[in-house]
């Protein structure tokens, strides 16, 4: 496996132009930590790169990470005067994802833990859907090449694993646990405490409070409606709803000016989140994801004007539920 990073390093050391690292457009703690960890590891080996990102960072803890871990990100505009020979390494995302802005430079590599995209073609690829966090893959690059991450970097990677695996309980693989253990020796527990104490803003809390009033439970399924909320908040509030006794599937939807964002989380393999999302957006929008977590979007122009979106989502979801055999 040490060959993996060696292979990437050999490739990137031949980059003809500037080297960029790109995550999905709304980077979460795992994406930020993995991109940053990779940048520092490459720097250690003499390769300079810049992490670029699109939108503003939505979640409070993601923003706090930049400050606490001294992480530098550059706006996409710095790539605008691109030379055709610049390269980009995708981290925590793959080509063709709807949440990835195309920079019109060569996507030379992808390091990710989501489902492998069918049209994947890169000069280097390390996509491991069985792993819980991209941060675990980057941590493995460090330890296998005998380079120890700095205290700040180890802590950031640790936090990335922590968040993406929901405290080592969701989609967690032996690699995540092993890397968590190794990183722990190098990490700063005070910083973890600090970032855990900065997870949401007061505005977020108000949104939660409003959202939780909308919760409706239908058997093992719960619905949650949020106003124009950001992705991180939708995910976090779904997790709280999932912790409700008897609820195995949470369907959260957020009404935005551009359309309806849907997020489904499941803790029951007989109720796959991706199957629900696919049915909810069928014929109207797009979506996909894992069994335990999936998301979709219906653009505003595709919303049926004569139907209540709340009723539509609930009706479609109940139809899927009724078609399942649940133990
Ligand atoms: Mn991730």
Last residue of one domain, picked from the residues 155, 179, 196 = 196
Task: Looking at the structure, tell me whether residues 45 and 113 fall in a common domain.
Answer: yes
Task: Looking at the structure, tell me whether residues 249 and 191 fall in a common domain.
Answer: no
C-alpha 132 to ligand 1 mean position (Å)? 7
Q: What is the pTM of this model?
A: 0.80
pLDDT at 176: 98
Give the number of other CB atoms < 10 A from CB of residue 278: 18
C-alpha 156 to ligand 1 mean position (Å)? 13
C-alpha 71 to ligand 1 mean position (Å)? 17
pLDDT at 57: 67
C-alpha 252 to ligand 1 mean position (Å)? 20
Would residue 279 count as lying in a domain?
yes
Task: Looking at the structure, tell me whether residues 98 and 208 fall in a common domain.
Answer: no
Cα–Cα distance between 86 and 15 in angstroms, integer? Answer: 7
Last residue of one domain, picked from the residues 196, 214, 248 = 196
C-alpha 127 to ligand 1 mean position (Å)? 11
C-alpha 114 to ligand 1 mean position (Å)? 7
Would residue 327 count as lying in a domain?
no
Last residue of one domain, picked from the residues 127, 161, 196 = 196
Would residue 294 count as lying in a domain?
yes
C-alpha 31 to ligand 1 mean position (Å)? 6
C-alpha 118 to ligand 1 mean position (Å)? 19
Task: Looking at the structure, tell me whether residues 38 and 85 fall in a common domain.
Answer: yes
pLDDT at 308: 92
The tens-digit pLDDT sequence of the chain (327 residues) is 458 999 999 999 999 989 999 998 888 899 999 999 999 999 999 999 999 987 666 677 888 899 999 999 988 877 766 567 899 999 999 998 877 888 888 899 999 999 888 877 899 999 999 999 999 999 999 999 999 999 999 999 999 999 999 889 888 999 999 999 999 999 999 999 999 888 788 888 888 898 999 999 999 999 999 887 777 778 888 888 999 999 999 999 998 899 999 999 999 999 999 999 999 999 999 988 888 889 899 999 999 889 999 999 999 999 999 998 765
Q: How many domains does one find in the chain? A: 2
Task: Looking at the structure, tell me whether residues 45 and 184 fall in a common domain.
Answer: yes
CATH of residue 39: 3.90.1640.10
Spell out the residues 6+ positions from residue 295 whose beta carbon is closer than 8 angstroms to its own: 231, 261, 262, 263, 264, 277, 287, 288, 289
Task: Looking at the structure, tell me whether residues 69 and 94 fall in a common domain.
Answer: yes
Domain carrying residue 179: 2-196
C-alpha 240 to ligand 1 mean position (Å)? 20
C-alpha 133 to ligand 1 mean position (Å)? 5
Would residue 6 count as lying in a domain?
yes
Task: Looking at the structure, tell me whether residues 207 and 164 fall in a common domain.
Answer: no
CATH of residue 289: 3.10.310.30
Q: Where do runs of H (alpha helix) occur along 85-173? A: 134-144, 151-164
């Amino acid at each position: 496996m040490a060959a993996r990073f060696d292979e990437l390093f050999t490739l990137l050391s031949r980059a003809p132009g500037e080297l960029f690292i790109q995550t999905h457009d709304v980077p979460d703690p795992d994406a930020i930590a993995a991109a940053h960890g990779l940048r520092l590891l490459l720097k250690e080996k003499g390769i300079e790169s810049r992490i670029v990102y699109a939108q503003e960072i939505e979640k409070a803890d993601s923003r706090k990470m930049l400050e606490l871990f001294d992480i530098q990100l550059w706006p996409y505009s710095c790539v605008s005067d691109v030379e055709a020979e610049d390269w980009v390494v995708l981290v925590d995302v793959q080509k063709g994802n709807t949440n990835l802005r195309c920079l019109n430079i060569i996507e030379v590599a992808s390091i990710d833990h989501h489902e492998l995209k069918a049209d994947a073609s890169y000069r280097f690829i390390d996509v491991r859907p069985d792993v819980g966090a991209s941060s675990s893959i980057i941590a493995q690059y460090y330890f296998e090449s005998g380079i120890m991450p700095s205290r700040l970097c180890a802590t950031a990677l640790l936090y990335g694993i922590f968040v993406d695996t929901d405290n080592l309980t969701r989609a967690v693989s032996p690699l995540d646990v092993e890397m968590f253990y190794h990183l722990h020796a190098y990490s700063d527990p005070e910083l973890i405490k600090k970032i855990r104490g900065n997870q949401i803003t007061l505005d977020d809390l108000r949104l939660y409070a409003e959202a939780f009033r909308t919760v409706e439970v239908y058997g093992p399924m719960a619905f949650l409606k949020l106003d124009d909320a950001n992705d991180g908040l939708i995910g976090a509030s779904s997790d709280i709803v999932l912790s409700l006794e008897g609820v195995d599937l949470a369907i959260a939807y957020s009404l935005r000016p551009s359309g309806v964002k849907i997020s489904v989380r499941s803790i029951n393999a007989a109720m796959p989140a991706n199957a629900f999302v696919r049915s909810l957006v069928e014929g109207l929008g797009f979506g996909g994801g894992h069994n335990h977590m999936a998301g979709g979007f219906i653009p505003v122009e595709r919303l049926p004007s004569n139907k209540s979106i709340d009723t539509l989502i609930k009706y479609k979801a109940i139809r899927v539920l009724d078609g399942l055999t649940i133990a």
